[in-house]
């Protein structure tokens, strides 16, 4: 009884004060509150928003841990200390403590910054505006470290998170009211404000930037190259990763986006728990395949030749698009955001399909930044209410027609 009763007394003490939201946020983290249903249904389902968000985080944890191993693996591989994986998904070259320790110490600060700054702002707004701290940031805070390059300077991340939370969410009224996906707003901010840290061949592997500086200042060490596959394709460089490497995720990229296998499992988990929308995931995948296939067709038909600067990405086999870059991660964890996505079931099909379709289009036609999924999702976030409007109008028209038939 001790802790529970003491916390209850504290809650009563803070009730009505400015501190109440901040205290309640911590209190409800420990204990589901004693509120009873009033004035409506007398019983309520077991789920609340915390449980929902927690489920998404559970689906993200494998990607985070994989990201830690991969950070170390990419670094040690680039500096030549270890051999490339040889043994399928459970290769010992990848799953070893050395890799993990490097990745852990690089990525943990990103997670801490993301949650620290983001939740700090959430608490601040909750106290200032007198509403409860909402759970939306729990997922955003886990997504952010997974979609940035490993060597991103901390201060940039701090600035971006602050921008994303305030402009992306709080100005609209908090979780449930925002128009754009907050995690992608943060990433888009980073991308447009600090493009040199978000693209190119130096940022995806731990230490590459550092080494480049050393070389520039006269060191004779070998340069670390860590180009993403998309980057290579965009410049028609040869790819030295196998399809299985791409699928398992032993490739450079943003921290958590590389392992299509784990993302696929996470996606299936979200669909099974009924938290993620299978409609969006499926239709986005279809959209990407269709666009990829169209580009393949164009190449096969001979309309685009090797001299074209788009040739590298256009000729990429259409289904490979799903396992390179952030496509899978975006489809599973970002496109399915219920707040910024389409809200009607029919609308979800259209919304998802266009995300996949436009992602690949941007990827191919924008070689400066060949990752289209972020921009495609943000674009479709903006159009989601329009899609819903037309879907709902269908229902409205049906109702009007029914009425007219009767009176005629």
Partner 1 sequence: MSNDIKIKKGLDIKLKGDAEKTTEKAVLSNFYVLRPDDFHAVTPRLIYKEGAKVKAGEPIFHDKTNEAVKFVSPVSGEIIEIERGAKRRIVGIKIQADKEQTYQDYGKLDVNAVDADTIKARLLASGCWTFIKQRPYDIIAKPDQSPKAIFISGYDSAPLAADLDYVLQGKESELQAAITALGKLTEGKVHVSVGANSNSPLAGLSGITLHKVSGPHPCGNVGTQINKIDPVNKGETVWTVNPQDLVIIGELLLTGRFNAERIVALVGSSVKKPRYFKTKIASEVATMVYDNGVEQNGNDRIISGNVLSGKQVGPDGYLGYYSNLISIIPEGDDYEFFGWNKPVFDKISNSRALTFSWLTPNKTYDLDTNMNGEHRNFVLTGNYEEVFPLDIYPLQILKSCLYEDLDEMEALGMYEVAPEDFALTEFICVSKQPHQQIIRAGLDLMIEEIG
Which residues contact partner 1 (rule: CB under 8 A)? 4, 7-8, 28-52, 54-55, 132, 134-136, 173-177, 272-275, 277, 279, 338-339, 341-345, 348, 388, 392, 395-396, 398-400, 402-403, 406-407
Other CB atoms within a 10 A radius of the CB of residue 253 amount to 28
The values of phi and psi at residue 298, to 5°, are -60, -40
Residue 96 or residue 343: which is nearer to partner 1 going by CB?
343
Task: Report the nearest approach of partner 1 to the CB of residue 348 (Å).
Answer: 7
Residue 323 or residue 391: which is nearer to partner 1 going by CB?
391
Residue 263 or residue 384: which is nearer to partner 1 going by CB?
384
Task: Report the nearest approach of partner 1 to the CB of residue 380 (Å).
Answer: 15
Q: Report the phi/psi class of residue 207: left, alpha or beta, with left for phi > 0 and alpha for psi in -120 to 50.
A: left
Residue 60 or residue 313: which is nearer to partner 1 going by CB?
60
- Residue 159 CB partners (closer than 8 Å, separation 6+): 189, 193
Residue 39 or residue 238: which is nearer to partner 1 going by CB?
39
Give the residue among 107, 83, 257 at the shortest CA–CA distance from 183: 257
Other CB atoms within a 10 A radius of the CB of residue 129 amount to 11
Distance CA 25, CA 171 (A): 20
Residue 313 or residue 391: which is nearer to partner 1 going by CB?
391
Please give the sequence-ordered ranges of beta strands (E in DSSP) within 86-138, or none if there are none. none
Angle, vertex CA 184, rays to CA 365 and CA 233, nearest 5? 30
Task: Report the nearest approach of partner 1 to the CB of residue 280 (Å).
Answer: 10
Q: Give the DSSP per-residue string, 273-311.
A: TT-S-HHHHHHHHHHHHHHHHHHHHHHHTTSS-TTSTTH
Contact 329, 146 (CB under 8 A): yes
Q: Is 278 exposed, middle or buried (0-12, 13-18, 19+ CB in 10 A)?
A: middle
Task: Report the nearest approach of partner 1 to the CB of residue 118 (Å).
Answer: 17
Task: Report the nearest approach of partner 1 to the CB of residue 19 (Å).
Answer: 17
Strand, coil or helix: 91:
coil
Task: Report the nearest approach of partner 1 to the CB of residue 136 (Å).
Answer: 7
Task: Report the nearest approach of partner 1 to the CB of residue 371 (Å).
Answer: 27
Give the residue among 180, 205, 179, 203 at the shortest CA–CA distance from 191: 203
Residue 106 to residues 100, 206, 210, 334, 341, Cα–Cα distance (Å):
10, 8, 14, 24, 32
Residue 138 or residue 144: which is nearer to partner 1 going by CB?
138
Residue 213 or residue 397: which is nearer to partner 1 going by CB?
397
Distance CA 268, CA 278 (A): 9
Residue 31 or residue 105: which is nearer to partner 1 going by CB?
31
């Amino acid at each position: 009884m001790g802790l529970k009763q003491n916390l209850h007394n504290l809650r009563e003490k803070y009730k009505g004060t400015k501190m109440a939201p901040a205290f309640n946020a911590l209190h409800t983290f420990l204990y589901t509150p004693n509120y009873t249903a009033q004035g409506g249904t007398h019983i309520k389902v077991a789920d609340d928003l915390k449980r929902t968000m927690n489920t998404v985080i559970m689906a993200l944890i494998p990607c985070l841990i994989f990201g830690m191993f991969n950070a170390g693996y990419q670094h040690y591989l680039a500096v030549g200390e270890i051999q490339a994986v040889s043994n399928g998904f459970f290769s010992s070259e990848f799953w070893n403590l050395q890799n993990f320790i490097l990745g852990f110490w690089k990525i943990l600060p990103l997670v801490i910054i993301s949650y620290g700054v983001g939740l700090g702002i959430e608490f601040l707004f909750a106290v200032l505006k007198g509403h409860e701290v909402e759970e939306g940031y729990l997922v955003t805070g886990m997504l952010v470290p997974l979609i940035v390059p490993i060597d991103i300077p901390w201060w940039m991340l701090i600035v971006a998170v602050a921008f994303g939370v305030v402009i992306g969410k709080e100005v609209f009224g908090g979780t449930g009211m925002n128009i754009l996906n907050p995690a992608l707003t943060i990433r888009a901010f980073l991308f447009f404000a600090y493009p040199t840290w978000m693209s190119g061949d130096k940022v995806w592997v731990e230490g590459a930037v550092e080494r480049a500086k050393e070389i520039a200042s006269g060191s004779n060490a070998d340069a670390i190259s860590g180009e993403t596959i998309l980057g290579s394709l965009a410049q028609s460089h040869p790819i030295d990763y196998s399809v299985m490497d791409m699928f398992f995720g032993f490739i450079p990229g943003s921290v958590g986006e590389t392992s299509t296998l784990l993302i696929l499992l996470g996606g299936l988990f979200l669909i099974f728990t009924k938290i993620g929308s299978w409609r969006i995931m499926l239709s986005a995948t279809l959209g990407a395949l269709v666009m990829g296939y169209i580009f393949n067709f164009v190449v096969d038909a001979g309309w685009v030749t090797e001299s074209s600067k788009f040739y590298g990405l256009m000729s990429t086999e259409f289904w490979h698009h799903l396992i390179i870059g952030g496509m899978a991660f975006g489809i599973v964890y970002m496109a399915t955001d219920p707040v910024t996505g389409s809200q009607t079931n029919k609308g979800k099909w259209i919304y998802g399909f266009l995300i996949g379709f436009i992602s690949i289009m941007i990827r191919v036609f924008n070689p400066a930044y060949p990752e289209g999924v972020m921009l495609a999702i943000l674009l479709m976030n903006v159009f989601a209410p329009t899609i819903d409007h037309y879907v709902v109008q269908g229902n409205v028209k049906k109702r009007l027609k029914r009425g007219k038939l009767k009176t005629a």
